[in-house]
Structure 1
Amino acid sequence: MNYGNLIVIALRALNNNKLRGFLTMLGIIIGVSSVISMLAIGEGSKRSIEKQIEELGANMVVVTPTNALVGGIRQNGVIVQTLKLEDYRAIESEVPYLESCSPYVTKSGQAIFGSYNTPTFIYGVNEDYMDIRRLTVAKGEMFSDQDMKMAAKVCVVGQTIVDNLFKNGEDPLGQVIRFDKIPFRIIGVLAPKGYNSMGRDQDDIIVAPFTTIQKRLLAIPYMHGIYASVVDEKYTAKVIQEITGVLRQTHGISGVQEDDFNVRSLEEMSAILTMATKVLTILLACIGGISLLVGGIGIMNIMYVSVTERTREIGLRMSIGAKGRHILFQFLIEAVIISVSGGIIGVLFGVGAALALRSLLGWPVSVLLYSVVISFLVCTFTGVFFGWYPARKASRLNPIDAIRYE
């Protein structure tokens, strides 16, 4: 028998049961589209995180106070007074391979100009902070060393602050805004950076000399943390080790005593976030895989029903010369056509759903070619695997018994 005829017969059989065939395909369509769209979301999130880390500076190191125990009560790291200006100076002068270093203090509050106000954060830093965080002044200038020595009430603002406070189109340069009743004169506007991968607005920021924030806003002698950048990423581990040694010495920590500070690099943060994203991607892919499995079981059930309904047809065909392998291939072809057709539609739906999420909701998605290829191959294999047993059963029917079947 011509195998081309087997394909024609299989197509004709599917055409006679269009609704049943489509419902069988539905499981494959949902499974394939789920796998592709879920993997696209996972990969998009991973790439977004990597891009964000790159924008922040992959060679950045952050020093923060640890949540220390005071009187048996673990204190929040923000209020722990373990990092002093002397620590910053020691790190800057003694640690090799450092490119930039900046202390930082921060406070949340209300920024006010005229009748407009907006909740935001003000960061007290030095000039090196701009290089560490890859920030640039688009308009005006950055504050100087002299401003820091004098604890000058000047600041540089992000574009969101400008949009929220200067709604009448005023030029922000030279204007005086108030933050917790302290006036600050705007001397620069930062270049826009948009939202990061966590959905935070990077332009919703005010930057001022750290001495000003320490003395005039917070009235504290300590720092909330230290930012530093390494000349090359390959020296990051060495710099972390050196910073740890310097701080243990300045803090008088010896032996097995617990550190009262944390030193972290963005590489570590990136690794943690990437691992979390991988786990999420695998979980999402498993959900799609379960849908494919359900779709495969649906194919097997329908093929069993088809074999039962067409038992007399199988007997007649075998009585006029069709062999068992012809019957086997006929039903396998039907199963593969269902799975491949469902796979093609599923690919289109999956890619379309991923692109729709990106355009309508702004989610970071990235459709991977390998996910499309693997999903298509898996759905084809699913059709063969789950269609083989019913097809084998049909090929082993006794022609005389099949013809007599009612």
Structure 2
Amino acid sequence: MNILQSIKMSWKSIMGSKIRSFLTMLGIIIGVSSVITLVSVGQGTTSSITKSLEGLGTNLLTVNIMGRGNTTSLSYEEAMELGNIDGVEAVSPVISGSVTAKRGTTNDTISVEGIAPSYEDVQDFHVQSGRYIVDLDIEYRMKVALIGTETATTYFGTDNPVGQTIQLNGTSFKIIGLLESKGSSMTASNDDKILIPINTAERFLQSGGVRSITVQVVSPDQISTVKADLEAALNKKFLNATNSYSIFNSQEMLDTLNSTTQLLSVALGGIAGISLLVGGIGIMNIMLVSVSERTREIGVRKAIGARKRDILLQFLVESTALSGIGGLIGVGLGYGFSALIGHFSTMTTSVSSSIVLISFGFSLFIGIVFGMIPANKAAKLRPIYALRTD
């Protein structure tokens, strides 16, 4: 008997018991769809976080100052002096706070950042209209502001905010520029804030100095060297006090994140893969029952000349077909579930073709392995005993 005949007989057997065949495939369907869905969520989340971190720049170091004793910050001048370190292209000190912004009847709390002109290039945050903050604005503590697109919509609607004023804690600030839209980061919206000169912010927000500095390095290859030089400069400033500052390297976090999420994806896939093993056991059990039910049929086939390998092939093809069809249905459901999660939630999903092929291939492997035992049992039946079975 050739392979084509085995396929025809297996298909006839599967279609002859549709409900039982579907229930047999159910474990494979759940397993394959679970693997694809869970891994796609893991990979999509990893991709989204990685994109956010890469958007910060892999050649950036973020310095956070906690201080020592009465010295809890750096002055603006001290922060800018860090730009003299070899390998540093630019530094961008920032003073942050929240204020009550008011215009007309609109009154709400808004995030405000005091910045230097270097913020534009270091943070890659430009204006779409108007001008940026310049050194003269800082020198003379000008009450001028750059406004984010979301904030502009809230307070000015569709009007052009450039040239107009807004009240911040009761003080009038003239808007000199409308920022480009940057979307949201991992923590907050980049478009719902106002930027003002850093010296103005220090007095206006009653800040004791600069506690956050972003350092742009000439090349990612120089990150380690520049970080060591920054540590030396800050240790000198804070007399080697422990926990007086921290330096955040986005590339190190990116590498750690990738390693962690890869392990997480593997773990999720492994957990879902258990369903495939359960599905394989289900196929084996049903096929064993099928062998028992079709013992007389096997006896008749052997009596008229069917060989051991013909019987083995028939049942093996049937178990493989069950797992293969279940795998295909599982792939379709996996794609569907991933699309639904991406559409109806904030999570990002990314279906990998390699994961689809691995999960489908594993479902076929499961069908072959767990189908071997019942197929072998059927092939070993002796015709005389099989024919005597009622």
Name the structure 2 match of 1:159. Answer: 149
Determine if contact 2:89/2:216 at 8 Å carries over to the other structure. yes
Equivalent AA in structure 2 for residue 174 of structure 1: G
Change (3 A) 1:14 1:199: farther
User: 1:67–1:290: structure 2 CA closer, same or farther, 3 Å change rule?
Assistant: farther
Q: Is 1:92–2:76 an aligned residue pair?
A: no
3-state SS, counterpart of residue 187 of structure 1: strand
Residue 107 of structure 2 aligns to a residue in which SS? strand
Deviation at 1:43, TM superposition (A): 1.8
Indicate which of 225, 235, 241 corresponds to 2:228. 241
Q: Shift in Å at residue 288 of structure 1?
A: 2.0
TM-score by length of 2: 0.94
Residues 317 and 328 of structure 1, relative CA distance in 2, 3 Å threshold: same
Instruction: Quote the offset at 1:61 in angstroms.
Output: 0.6
Question: Aligned residue for 1:209?
Answer: 197
Are the structure 2 counterparts of residues 195 and 85 from structure 1 closer, same or farther at C-alpha, using a change threshold of 3 Å?
Answer: closer
Partner of 1:302: 286
Q: What residue in structure 1 maps to residue 173 of structure 2?
A: 184
Change over 3 Å in CA distance of 1:21–1:130 after alignment to 2: same
CA distance in 1, matches of 2:149, 2:255: 31
Identity percentage over the alignment?
Answer: 37
1:67 Cα shift?
A: 8.6
Distance (whole Å) between structure 2 residues aligned to residue 182 and residue 272 of structure 1: 45
Q: Gaps (5+ residues) in structure 1?
A: 71-78
Letter in 2 for 1:262: S
What is the alpha-carbon distance in structure 1 between the residues aligned to residue 207 and residue 361 of structure 2?
A: 63
Partners of 2:78 and 2:291 in 1: CA distance: 80
Asked if 2 retains the 8 angstrom alpha-carbon contact of 1:82 and 1:261, the reply is no
1:11 aligns with 11
Give 1:251 deviation, angstroms: 1.8
Counterpart amino acid of residue 51 in structure 2: K
CA contact (8 A) 1:127 1:143 kept: yes
Structure 2 counterpart of 1:361, which letter? S
Kept in 2, the 8 Å contact 1:155–1:184? The answer is: yes
Structure 2 residue 33 is the aligned partner of structure 1 residue 33: yes
1:362 Cα deviation after fit: 5.0
Kept in 1, the 8 Å contact 2:67–2:73? The answer is no
2:324, 2:187 → 1: CA distance?
39
* Alpha-carbon separation, structure 2, partners of 1:14 and 1:258: 71
User: 1:308–1:81: structure 2 CA closer, same or farther, 3 Å change rule?
Assistant: same
Q: Which of structure 1's runs of 4+ aligned residues deviate more than 4 A?
A: none
Measured after TM superposition, the shift of residue 85 of structure 1 is 3.4
**Residue of structure 2 equivalent to 1:352:** 336
Distance, in Å, in 2 between the alignment partners of 1:67 and 1:306 is 76
Conservation of the 8 A alpha-carbon contact between 1:158 and 1:206: yes
Instruction: Name the aligned partner's letter for residue 384 of structure 1.
Output: I
Deviation at 1:161, TM superposition (A): 0.4
In the alignment, is the contact (CA less than 8 A) between 1:106 and 1:122 conserved in 2?
yes
Q: Does 1:224 align with 2:215?
A: no
Match in the other structure for 1:370: 354
| Count of paired positions | 390
- Where do residues 234-313 of structure 1 align in structure 2 (5 Å cutoff)? 234-253=221-240, 258-313=242-297
- Partner of residue 60, structure 2: 60
| Residue ranges of structure 2 left out of the alignment (5+ in a row) | none
Distance between the aligned counterparts of 2:293 and 2:106, measured in 1?
76
Say if 1:102 and 1:128, in contact at 8 Å, map to a contact too. Answer: yes
Contact 2:147–2:195 at 8 Å: present in 1 too?
A: yes
RMSD of Structure 2 on Structure 1 (CA): 2.0
CA distance in 2, matches of 1:351, 1:59: 37
Q: Mean alpha-carbon deviation: is it higher for 321-330 or for 334-343?
A: 321-330
Q: Which moved more, 1:374-383 or 1:303-312?
A: 303-312
> 1:56-95, CA deviations, whole angstroms, 9 ceiling, x for partnerless residues?
2221110002497x7xxxxxxxx981434354133122x1
Is the aligned partner of 1:328 residue 2:312? Answer: yes
Q: In the TM superposition, what is the alpha-carbon distance from 1:259 to its structure 2 partner? A: 4.5
Cα shift at 1:356: 3.1
Deviation at 1:50, TM superposition (A): 2.4
2:4 and 2:328 mapped to 1: Cα distance? 22
**d(CA) in 1 for partners of 2:224, 2:299:** 75
Q: Which amino acid aligns with 1:381?
A: F
Q: How far off its partner does 1:274 sit?
A: 2.2
Moved more, 133-142 or 287-296: 287-296
How has the CA–CA distance of structure 1 residues 348 and 279 changed in structure 2, closer, same or farther, with 3 Å as cutoff? same
Cα distance, 1:377 vs structure 2: 0.8
Post-superposition offset of 1:176: 1.8
Partners of 1:291 and 1:203 in 2: how far apart?
45
Work out which of the residue numbers 122, 126, 134 in structure 1 matches 2:116. Answer: 126
